[in-house]
Amino acid sequence: MKLTVGRGRTSRPSDQEEWIKEYYELEVDVTDVTSTDGVEKVRIGLEQHLMGWLSEPVISGIPNLDMAKIEQLPWKSYQKKVPCTPGEAGWIFTNAEGAEDLVKAIRASPKEKLELPPYQFMFSGKEKQFISRKPLK
């Protein structure tokens, strides 16, 4: 038996921007929960977790990013300077063709660090001339 709980919000960071819809859903296996009260406690816990996510401020100015396109950028490995394999840490120049939206998204992210599973993206280099990616743990 599974329990699924979903929550969403629609917000508009400013009058100049589009509406942003967010929806999160969590599903848990409650087969081992033996009572109705236990299932209710699990439901409440899931709702609280979702509400925590939805209480975070909306970050405006981050474009929608396509991970397939990001993965196709000319990522280089740190040690051998050869093309990266999927899931490997690497780097590209910030002016790489096709990286424009990724650069905007990193700039708009808190502390210029963008977590976009399965990676974290950030600027590196003395003049922030590189984008680094590292796999999330």
pLDDT of residue 98: 93
pLDDT of residue 57: 63
Is 62 among the domain residues?
no
Is 61 among the domain residues?
no
80: containing domain: 67-135
From the list 33, 52, 51, the residue with the least C-alpha distance to 42 is 33
Pair (76, 20) in one structural domain: no
- pLDDT tens track for 13-40: 666 667 778 888 999 999 998 898 999 9
Pair (47, 74) in one structural domain: no
Pair (84, 51) in one structural domain: no
Is 25 among the domain residues?
yes
- pLDDT tens track for 51-110: 888 877 665 556 678 888 999 999 999 988 899 998 999 999 999 999 999 998 898 887
What are the backbone dihedrals phi and psi of residue 135, each rounded to the nearest 5 degrees, phi first? Answer: -65, 140
